[in-house]
């Protein structure tokens, strides 16, 4: 499985022969101004919640790629009314797609569309298949619900966790989250895009290495194959 980061929470994960695009929102991120929306390829788009910094480029990308949306019922219904195809889920449910199995799991956050429409309750995704298993947490606080993931899903190979603080957990809480989900390899996201979420990279990496864990901070547009 190959992970490419486009800033904030936008990732393309190549998994099970498909391209899974998470939370496409380059145009909402001043740091990503040199990245090209045309580079966002997708067979599926997984949406954690309805905030602008997670959905800003979604319609443009679907218009070009015809990707299938995967999200909660409210978000899939919102885009369904605009003519976009999607697979609705809700918390605790899983479904096996042609690339692997997806479970929609809890996140402690909020989820309102930029136009004021209710975006349901925010979530994260655990995705697994023959290549392995990963957790995309979405925007969330540290929560005890994360302890359910190792009880209900295969062993995680990597967890994509927000670490920027203020709107989500910071890196200190994310180290505890990594314990709760029983994962020692973390890819950080949701940091540095705006002044409220700027972090000290060295301190963040040290916080994980003190626990014998690895925090991977990708550069914009950078990939890692695991």
Provide the minimum distance between the beta carbon of 51 and Ni ion in the complex, in angstroms, as a whole number: 4
Q: What is the chain's length?
A: 226
Residue 14 binds which of Mn ion, Ni ion, none (CB < 5-8 A, kind-dependent): none
Torsion of CA 80, 85, 86, 87, to 10 degrees: 110
Nearer to Ni ion, 131 or 139 (CB): 139
Provide the minimum distance between the beta carbon of 138 and Mn ion in the complex, in angstroms, as a whole number: 8
Contacts with Ni ion by CB under 5 A lie at 51, 139
DSSP state of 218: P
Closest residue by beta carbon to Ni ion: 51
Strands annotated E in 107-205? 123-129, 132-136, 158-162, 185-189
Provide the minimum distance between the beta carbon of 54 and Mn ion in the complex, in angstroms, as a whole number: 6
Provide the minimum distance between the beta carbon of 7 and Ni ion in the complex, in angstroms, as a whole number: 14
CB of 109 closer than 8 Å to CB of 145: no
* Tokens at 51, concatenated: 């905030």
**Closest to 70 in 3D by CA, of 16, 20, 131:** 20
Residue 103 binds which of Mn ion, Ni ion, none (CB < 5-8 A, kind-dependent): none
State which H helix or E strand residue 95 sits in: strand 94-96
Nearer to Ni ion, 57 or 139 (CB): 139
Contacts with Mn ion by CB under 5 A lie at 51, 53, 139
Provide the minimum distance between the beta carbon of 164 and Mn ion in the complex, in angstroms, as a whole number: 9
Nearer to Ni ion, 51 or 213 (CB): 51
Query: At 23, is the secondary structure helix, strand, or coil?
Result: coil
Nearer to Ni ion, 76 or 137 (CB): 137
State which H helix or E strand residue 21 sits in: strand 18-22
Residue 131 binds which of Ni ion, Mn ion, none (CB < 5-8 A, kind-dependent): none
Nearer to Mn ion, 51 or 213 (CB): 51
Separation CA 92–CA 70 (nearest Å) = 14
């Amino acid at each position: 499985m190959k992970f490419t980061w486009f800033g904030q929470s936008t990732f393309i994960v190549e998994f099970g022969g498909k391209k899974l695009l998470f939370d496409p929102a380059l145009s909402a991120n001043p740091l990503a101004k040199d990245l090209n929306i045309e580079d966002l390829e997708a067979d599926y788009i997984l949406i954690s919640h309805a905030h602008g910094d997670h959905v800003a480029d979604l319609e443009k990308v679907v218009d070009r790629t015809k990707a299938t949306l995967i999200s909660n019922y409210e978000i899939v219904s919102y885009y369904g009314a605009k003519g976009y195809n999607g697979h609705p889920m809700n918390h605790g449910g899983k479904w096996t797609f042609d690339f692997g199995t997806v479970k929609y799991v809890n996140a402690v956050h909020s989820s309102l569309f930029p136009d004021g429409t209710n975006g349901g309750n925010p979530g994260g995704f655990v995705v697994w298949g023959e290549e392995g298993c990963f957790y995309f947490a979405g925007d969330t606080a540290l929560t005890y619900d994360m302890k359910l993931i190792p009880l209900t899903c295969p062993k995680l190979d990597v967890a994509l966790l927000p670490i920027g603080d203020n709107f989500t957990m910071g890196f200190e809480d994310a180290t505890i989250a990594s314990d709760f989900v029983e994962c020692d390899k973390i890819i950080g996201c949701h940091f540095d895009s705006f002044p409220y979420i700027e972090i000290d990279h060295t301190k963040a990496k040290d916080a994980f290495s003190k626990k014998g864990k690895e925090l991977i901070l990708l550069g914009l547009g950078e990939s890692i194959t695991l």
